[in-house]
């Protein structure tokens, strides 16, 4: 009988665990590098079991942009704040809302070179293919850069003919030619 | 009359210059960081006024891959070598062909963090959006990485409704979940 | 009816948000790098909805200098302290006033190379044009430096014929020739 | 009499020296970091005793841009190349012309942090006033950056009422707001 | 008599000490770099005198994987969490369980280059034999990498004929060839 | 007919290329970091189409050790030198033989952190699993290190049930306990 | 009338401010890098409006040495402690006294390269004139060093004929020749 | 009379100070880098006025080893713990004892390169004489290393004929030849 | 007799050696970091057995300034060039003269932190006493810096009462107060 | 018969190899970091099969000092030069002799942190035991440093009771107390 109870309890933990396991949360050890509203937003997101996809849909924005906002790397518009406050049931008294509309102090969410394997792979692509991208872009566009400011990005999932999933990241930035002066 | 000659000569230089100016070439100061065949390939490409698009078409590969090959960041297959030898009229006596099929010693074409503005913008995207990409990818795929090895990339040009060009870079890598052990 | 209330509440948040969104505030994650009066000053500025332009006018100083003072990078004169105390309604009991007149421990507000995109662009200008500035300045002035101590700076906005805004930063430093000894 | 000759010879050296001393030339120890045409351009400039002001006038460009071009940090247009070839009497057989129109591999003319005192002062301005610039620009323009690509710069000399010279550097970059996505 | 008591007390401390001394515990000075559940797990492990071998057996996983999980470098499955909760008698109310199933923010448990002598020896092997491994792997497998994601590892003890113990670490990763694109 | 000749020539290049492509060779850009005999050894190896497996068999040593010897990271015994001289038909007049028996100046074959993707993966394993290895080894062996000097290593290929190849690296080092003093 | 009061209050603040403004105090953001007695000493010094000159006179030591002692870079003798305790009215119960006599853990008061402009100038002197100092010292003294341990230093003010103040720093260290062994 | 009291009080402080001044204590600013028992041990040592020589005698170990143990760089045996607990009158309830027997996480007590002058001198010896030591050791012992694990060290004082004291540090490590494999 | 000759020859070498040993010369391994005229100047100085003191007297400048000029860290005036050309019997045809009057590219004569023990001691003084200098200078002069540009320096020898030599370096820089703007 | 010849030839190579294998020589890849006489000295030493012990005996100096001299880290006296010239049969015409008596530019023979395993172990001793050495030395000597300038060192071999060799390095430096000023 004790066994039954134990099995039941274990199943219940597994059940709870499974529900939570598809949600990105905030690693406690990087909180200090982020603006203080990051922790509040992630906590609410976790409590409400919302994915970035859910939140992006509610805000009419891209998932990448919304995740960047949670990490303090993008700015919320007043409308975003209003919707997030509603969706995440943030107390209007806290100054989370006001803070989210501050001008972000970008670029400090993680170390560079990245030590996180997923992020390192992106860095490695820049390291290995940087000059190749430059050469191809120069030939197609001339002398200039792809803006990282006037910029959109999205992440998609594709499944190939063998059933294997592929990650597809699109980086789209406005072309900025060097001024002649 | 001297004026006419001077003007004619200037026009001729301008003419030559214009022809060459859409071609990516190799900055002499980074030659030491690259395998020795890089200089040979770029020299032939410049001499024959070929773009990476031209060469990619001849090889049936992506422009990014071909440029990477020129920078010593990708390996040529025997078929690639045969076609490049023909296309660039490389002397078969040189060991450029053999070298191109060596196993590349990747990652040393430029400094990290990049100092070249175009390449820095890509690095900045990783710096600013790295954790956002991780969070979104984790929620869509689970615990793992996007491979930078089993990986394709391409660069495209889009023009928006105002006539402004945009650079679109697609990064496509196979999803690799962390093994359980 | 609930809808109406909800819409009203959202509008109210949007309204508050809009009011605040043009104010620079202090990112909570850099507070530790700054002198303790920085947080107090920014808090008061935010509470009173003052821009640096407002404060600069009250102090008879440049906006850049005032912002530098808030970040602990410049020293307040007794007169500045008196005016700031009044303007920001700082409690005279706190030692914010005394601290602002301490000798600043400059240079620690952010990492170098900067990771913040706006600040990085300034760094990149030094990286790319540093030797060009040196060569031009040497030819115009001789062997020496532009002082960064006996130095003024201002930020202005210009709008070009197409209606696009441009940022104009003026750096003005006294010429200091190397002494002959 | 020997004395007279010696004095004459010394005067002649002093004379030659004075003529040359207002010209920026290329330090031999940084040649390796620059594209190969840099040395050729500086050599011709020195031989012909031209200042960047002279060359800028001939090219209809800014002195800073011309110096940047000499350091391999800016690209020459075909028209620039034609004029430079004429002005500096470059042999059209050399491929200096072609190289100058290549896409520059920017950012490698000197180490960062700069060790050259003049350039270090500019770096120090970014280090000390970076966040102040950001705060003031954010309040004046919103969330974005000043472009370092769509960018002009000039160096001017001012003399104050006491007769002391001041260096005035103007940095003017297009305002680029962060895209909402 | 006092002597006897003292000796008894000392023996008792020695006894306690011996019991504990074969257990890896968490150095208090690295707690800040790890997710908050690390401290909770190590504390429970120490309190219950469990080795990683004990825990690995209970979870049906490798010791290395379990230790990695304790250091926040691997993710727990729901089943792992259920078993760990039981085994370590973690209070189900704490959110240790939920956190262990978060997506790990890997790579930050220690500095690189490592300063810990044991870990440095592994780093030194990569430093000294890195190119040798690459050359041998390239010849055996072609152009690609050994995955560190689709990866298993184990640690074994061997004793040679002289009775000396040897550490045997096996690194087993899937072969990933570079894609042709 | 010209077509036939061209096809024949291409086939011949492809043929040559295929023969060479399984051989690790020396990237020209790292020669400066290695002892001078490295280039000589690799050249002879390439000329004679020998794999490290071939050479290892002839020397009665492990492939990893032989590759390390080629990269200047291991010392050759007199017998190794005699056999290598024979096998690679090195001219006895050169001092390659003598140099190979010098005491290696280890650790400089590549940068750390590695930029080569294959070698980086090994580094990443140390970064991610370093503390896990330490904890497991400490529990199994006590307080000490695995020697990287009194050390063997080998690389093997395994194929799993789905036909996928796996790389298996074995690191075997003598256990060295910290001395008590 | 309110005006009068306001003016009076402002004058009073200006007055207080002026009194304090010639005193070096401790920037709150570097406290963590210093021994805990630093904060206590600076606090007492500020409260009592003492300059380092005042304190140096009381202790019979150099101002530089006293300031170094306050920053935890020099050791206090028992006599120094007794005098400081009296002068600064330190409570004898605190262990400030005992701590000041501990062996200092020098070198950690600020980052190197220094970011503080005043300290950077000293660093720049070493960077620019280091080899010149070495050459001149070698010629005057032989092969050895100027000790930084058996070392005195002082700061003086000179005013030149135009009335401009100059800072004069004297570094005086015992000559230590390299031993022959 | 007040004078007498003051003199008496000063003498008493000097007296206390002298007693304490020969004891190494823990700089408060490095506590965070050390395991938590370090502070406890140093506090007890200071309170009881024990030198490392006293403690080493009680433990039958070398002073260097005991100091390393206090800094968390060496492991205590159960017997060491028992004796330390007695000697330092540590409360057996605290887990200081247990922690001292944990496996140390070595190498993090100070920054490298060292900034502390005494420690820097040791580093400088490695920097200046490293290759000389290697060459001499290689000629005396062959190809291998001096172990830093199977290692003893001691510090002694010698006085030369002029009465000057010299520090003599002995580093004694087992010779480990590189394995042939 | 052979002995006599050998002794004679040895004495002659010792004699030559002694003559040269008080001259600073240029280490061949740093030539690449210096402008090309450095090697020429040092070579002439060595050939003519001139000390910096000799040269400084001839030029009417400080020894430190002259040594800095030889290391490419200071600029020669036309008069300096004329005198150096005479004194060192430089061929007027070489462009050493012209180069010496170029604008120096300062700061690259050696690595920072310095590895040369003599130069490191100066660096260590900045590291250890930097904040002490700042505090004392601030109290004596206000908020500003000691200029390293409008700057003189000299090296002197003092002998104390015990006959021991001391190095005295004087750093004298103009006081530059921060501008108020 | 051919077999016999081959065997004979192999034996001869083994024989030559064995003769040479106990001599430290100069790795070709570090020559650039050393003064030019280093290569000449090592070449002569190798040609004449001399160990550092042989040379040290001839010069009446320590082996460590002699090896340091060969690596450009110590200065030769005129007498040393005379003896080395004789012993190594250096041509008196070369300026090796003169160069050896130059003032060494120390500290650049290898990278720090060291990558060579033997040298790294010495560095690791400083890293792990640095604070322990400091604490013990402070307690034995007071506040000061062990000089690395007024310094001797030697390397000895000891064999323990089990026949295992141990390396014993003695570092002996004069005690320098911090001056009181």
User: What is the full DSSP assignment across B100-112?
Assistant: HTSPP--S-SS-S
Query: Is H9 among the catalytic positions?
Result: no
Cα dihedral H63, H64, H65, H67 in deg (nearest 10): 80
Lowest mean pLDDT among C4-8, D18-22, I124-128, J146-150: D18-22
Tokens matching residue G32: 């963590």
Model confidence at B101, in pLDDT bands (50, 70, 90)? confident
Query: DSSP string spanning I147-177?
Result: EEEEEEEEEEEEE-TTS-EEEEEEEEEEEEE
Chain G, 6 to 65: residues with Cβ < 8 Å from chain H are 32-36
pLDDT tens, residue by residue, E34-58: 998 999 999 999 999 999 999 999 9
Of D34, D78, D92, which is closest to B29 when you measure between CB atoms?
D34
pLDDT tens, residue by residue, H113-144: 999 999 999 999 999 999 999 999 999 999 99
Q: Which of E105, D8, E117 is nearest to J124 (CA)?
A: E117
> Which alpha helices (H) appear in chain J, and where do they start and end?
2-20, 36-47, 52-59, 63-70, 78-87, 96-100, 117-141
* The total number of residues written for chain A in this structure: 181
State residue G17's pLDDT score: 58
Are C58 and C83 in contact by the 8 Å Cβ rule? The answer is: yes
The mean pLDDT value of chain H amounts to 91
B180–E65 CB contact, under 8 Å? yes
User: What is the SS3 assignment for F46-57?
Assistant: HHCCCCHHHHHH
Lowest mean pLDDT among C39-43, E7-11, E68-72: E7-11
Are F164 and F144 in contact by the 8 Å Cβ rule? The answer is: no
DSSP bridge pairs for E171: E153, F169
Residues 6+ apart with CB under 8 A from A173: A146, A147, A148, A149, A150, A151, A152, B121, B166, B167
State residue C156's pLDDT score: 98
Are D65 and A179 in contact by the 8 Å Cβ rule? The answer is: no
Which helix or strand (DSSP H or E) is residue F174 part of? strand F165-177
Tell me how close the Cα of C89 comes to any Cα of chain A, in angstroms.
21
Measure the CA–CA gap between C172 and C33, rounded to whole angstroms: 27
G150–J61 CB contact, under 8 Å? no
Which helix or strand (DSSP H or E) is residue H42 part of? helix H36-47
β-pair type (I144-159, I165-177) = antiparallel
Lowest mean pLDDT among B148-162, C50-64, C84-98: C84-98
Determine contact: J95 vs chain G, CB below 8 A. Answer: no
The mean pLDDT value of chain I amounts to 90
Q: Can you list the residues of chain J whose pLDDT is less than 50?
A: none
| Chain I residues touching residue G133 (CB < 8 angstroms) | 64, 67, 118-119, 122, 153, 155, 169
Q: Which of H63, H73, H75, H103 to mutate to test the interface with F (most CBs of F within 10 A)?
A: H103
Measure the CA–CA gap between A45 and I168, rounded to whole angstroms: 66
Q: Which of A140, G172, H91, H126 is nearest to B154 (CA)?
A: A140
State residue A97's pLDDT score: 80
What is each CA distance from A177 to A84, B21, D105, J56, J80, in whole angstroms? 37, 14, 15, 66, 65
- The single residue of E124, E161, E164, E179 carrying the catalytic annotation is E124
Measure the CA–CA gap between B107 and H173, rounded to whole angstroms: 39
J126–H126 CB contact, under 8 Å? yes
State residue G19's pLDDT score: 59
Measure the CA–CA gap between D58 and D74, rounded to whole angstroms: 17
Of G113, G115, G124, which is closest to D117 when you measure between CB atoms?
G124
pLDDT tens, residue by residue, J14-36: 666 565 568 899 988 888 889 98
Q: Which of C114, E114, H136 is nearest to F129 (CA)?
A: E114
Neighbour subunits, J (≥3 Cβ pairs < 8 A): E, F, G, H, I
- The single residue of B53, B147, B179, B180 carrying the catalytic annotation is B147
Q: Which residue has the higher pLDDT, E41 or B1?
A: E41
Measure the CA–CA gap between I160 and I158, rounded to whole angstroms: 6
Query: Is I83 among the catalytic positions?
Result: no
Q: Which of I112, I111, I29, I27 is nearest to I70 (CA)?
A: I27
Tokens 């006092």 identify what position? E2
Which helix or strand (DSSP H or E) is residue C16 part of? helix C2-20
Measure the CA–CA gap between H139 and J45, rounded to whole angstroms: 13
| Chain F residues touching residue H152 (CB < 8 angstroms) | 179, 181
Measure the CA–CA gap between H160 and H167, rounded to whole angstroms: 11
State residue H150's pLDDT score: 98
**Cis, bond preceding H113 (omega within 30 deg of 0):** yes
Q: Which of I64, I66, I84, I76 is nearest to I170 (CA)?
A: I64
Determine contact: F167 vs chain J, CB below 8 A. Answer: no
**Three-state DSSP class for residue E159:** strand
C176–I103 CB contact, under 8 Å? no
State residue C85's pLDDT score: 92
Q: Can you list the residues of chain F whose pLDDT is less than 70?
A: 1-3, 6, 9-10, 12-21, 93
Residue D5 scores a pLDDT above 80: no
Query: What mean pLDDT is predicted for residues D144-162?
Result: 98
Q: Can you list the residues of chain A whose pLDDT is less than 50?
A: none
F128–A117 CB contact, under 8 Å? yes
State residue C132's pLDDT score: 97
Measure the CA–CA gap between J74 and D73, rounded to whole angstroms: 43
Spatial strand order of the sheet with I165-177 comes to G144-159, G165-177, I165-177, I144-159
Neighbour subunits, D (≥3 Cβ pairs < 8 A): A, B, C, G, I
β-pair type (C165-177, D144-159) = unpaired
Residues 6+ apart with CB under 8 A from J36: I28, I29, J99
Spatial strand order of the sheet with E165-177 comes to E144-159, E165-177, F165-177, F144-159
Residue of B nearest to A171 (CA): B169
Q: Which of F116, F110, F105 is nearest to F35 (CA)?
A: F105
Q: Which of A36, A18, A16 is nearest to A26 (CA)?
A: A36
Tell me how close the Cα of B113 comes to any Cα of chain C, in angstroms.
9
Model confidence at D28, in pLDDT bands (50, 70, 90)? confident
pLDDT tens, residue by residue, G137-174: 999 999 999 999 999 999 999 999 999 999 999 999 99
Measure the CA–CA gap between G166 and G160, rounded to whole angstroms: 7
State residue H28's pLDDT score: 82
C82–G14 CB contact, under 8 Å? yes
A128–B175 CB contact, under 8 Å? no
Q: Which of G63, G32, G65, G34 is nearest to G50 (CA)?
A: G63
pTM metric for this prediction: 0.94
Q: What share of chain A is helix, strand, coil (3-state, %, to 5)?
A: 50, 15, 35
Are E27 and H75 in contact by the 8 Å Cβ rule? The answer is: no
pLDDT tens, residue by residue, G64-107: 999 999 999 999 999 999 999 999 999 866 778 878 888 999 99
Measure the CA–CA gap between E155 and F171, rounded to whole angstroms: 10
- The single residue of F12, F20, F121, F156 carrying the catalytic annotation is F121
State residue J20's pLDDT score: 57
F148–J117 CB contact, under 8 Å? yes
Query: What mean pLDDT is predicted for residues H28-33?
Result: 86
Query: What mean pLDDT is predicted for residues D61-69?
Result: 97
What is each CA distance from H176 to B14, D1, D53, H141, J19, in whole angstroms? 69, 77, 67, 9, 22
What sign for the dihedral angle of Cα F133, F138, F143, F144? Answer: negative
Model confidence at E98, in pLDDT bands (50, 70, 90)? confident
Are D135 and D166 in contact by the 8 Å Cβ rule? The answer is: no
Are G175 and I121 in contact by the 8 Å Cβ rule? The answer is: no
Report percent pLDDT > 90 for chain I: 73
Measure the CA–CA gap between B36 and B92, rounded to whole angstroms: 16
Model confidence at I96, in pLDDT bands (50, 70, 90)? confident
Are A17 and E98 in contact by the 8 Å Cβ rule? The answer is: yes
Are A56 and A62 in contact by the 8 Å Cβ rule? The answer is: yes
State residue A21's pLDDT score: 62
Measure the CA–CA gap between B169 and B118, rounded to whole angstroms: 13
State residue J16's pLDDT score: 60
């Amino acid at each position: 009988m004790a066994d039954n109870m134990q099995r039941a309890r274990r199943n219940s933990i597994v059940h709870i665990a499974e529900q939570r396991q598809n949600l990105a949360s905030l690693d406690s050890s990087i909180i200090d590098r982020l603006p203080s509203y990051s922790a509040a937003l992630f906590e609410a997101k976790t409590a409400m079991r919302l994915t970035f996809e859910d939140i992006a849909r509610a805000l009419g924005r891209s998932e990448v942009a919304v995740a960047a906002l949670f990490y303090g790397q993008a700015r919320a518009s007043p409308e975003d704040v209003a919707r997030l406050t509603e969706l995440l049931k943030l107390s209007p008294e806290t100054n989370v809302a006001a803070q989210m509309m501050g001008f972000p102090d970008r670029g400090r969410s993680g170390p560079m070179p990245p030590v996180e394997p997923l992020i390192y792979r992106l860095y490695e692509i820049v390291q290995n293919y940087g000059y190749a991208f430059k050469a191809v872009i120069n030939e197609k566009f001339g002398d200039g850069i792809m803006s990282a400011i006037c910029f959109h990005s999205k992440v998609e999932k594709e499944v190939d003919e063998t059933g294997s999933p592929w990650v597809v990241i699109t980086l789209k930035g406005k072309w900025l030619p060097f001024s002649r002066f």
